[in-house]
Structure 1
């Protein structure tokens, strides 16, 4: 039997969570993430926040990395003053996930950032974020939908060449692109909805939430790259 590529997925680490009769600290990840990895042919493993110094050795054991959605990135990470509408800092998670991103890019490990993960990818490469954006959250706690248009000639356009309706929930977005990144999809209002690093190594970010839908083309691209020597 051919082994499935091992895909690490970053997670929340919450001080209090409830399930069954229990209420205690927990590492959390919406089930849509591992399910989408599994349906794409991979095996998902959770990567809760850890000492950032361990990120290179963790990534070395993986075939691919997904940095999942979650809280707002601390604006201090990209040299901005905090907007009153920006959520509380998740310092431990920011530090860990930035270390995972840098380790993946250094080692050439295929990397996908989803929502917050795309924003952190941009920040890791020196980019900035818009701290509040209207129209991309339907209601608090409810995913909306809108279309994204691919940029011809990009890796994302190769995966999804047509205008696609996607699940969305975010109020922040890419402002100035990080070093080397190119925008590979846009929303109708001009918001950057996907980014990637051109070149041999597979590095992509999407602003929407593929784990909340049935479209596995992006995660399929990651898993195929993870199954290929050197992530080509």
Structure 2
């Protein structure tokens, strides 16, 4: 049987046809990447995720999206932290905790990596352009910045991608204090941490970039293999 891979989703006001309503959304590229890697994608609706549901899954993907509410890591929102989704934070933290408790394979993407860090006790840089000597990580609405990342020798990511690799970035936040249970495993050329993993777990990987964009599906394949 194809392993069941839960993917967290957006809850946003959306328009199609004659409708303008709150909707559960996810870019199709996530589900396509999971299906193409041999998994069965299961969309997890914000506001309706329980530990019992996660217990039925074989793996979890925490998707990208809005900023994590800074209150989750003990800070007030800065002037550039303007789009937060507290309900989504709550749902995804429930899913993450349930997955970590069961040591399910976890792939956390962009916002997902940031939430994983917060869930385990870390915090975030709220607006990366405010940090001196950082390059472009968010080129604008609907765009990705293509860059090379350097992976840590001996890390799971290094084994999967090799010493360097091209990635598609779209993030204005980043990890600041990294949670004790996480280890950095990839960096951008400006020193920004672009990936973390949790040594000692079967598969727990966070990447700041968007592996669902483009044709390289190695991270999804590794996640599905671990779930299998």
- TM-score with structure 1 setting the length: 0.92
Q: Between Structure 1 and Structure 2, how many residues are aligned?
A: 222
| Cα displacement string for residues 158-210 of structure 1 (whole angstroms, at most 9, x for unaligned residues) | 11113111111000001111121000100001111010100142111000001
Structure-1 separation of matches of 2:90 and 2:201 = 27
Gaps of 5+ in 1: 228-232
Structure-1 separation of matches of 2:184 and 2:195 = 6
Structure-2 separation of matches of 1:166 and 1:63 = 26
| Cα displacement string for residues 84-127 of structure 1 (whole angstroms, at most 9, x for unaligned residues) | 00123211000010111111000111111100000000000000
Equivalent residue number for residue 49 of structure 1: 46
The aligned runs of 1:102-141 (5 Å cut-off) are 102-134=97-129, 135-141=136-142
Gaps of 5+ in 2: 130-135
Query: Are the counterparts in 1 of residues 153 and 163 from structure 2 also a CA contact under 8 Å?
Result: no
- Picking from 22, 27, 39, the partner of 1:25 is 22
The aligned runs of 1:174-189 (5 Å cut-off) are 174-189=175-190
Equivalent residue number for residue 164 of structure 2: 163
Corresponding residue SS for 1:45 = strand
Query: Are the counterparts in 2 of residues 150 and 161 from structure 1 also a CA contact under 8 Å?
Result: yes
Equivalent residue number for residue 54 of structure 2: 59
Equivalent residue number for residue 132 of structure 2: none
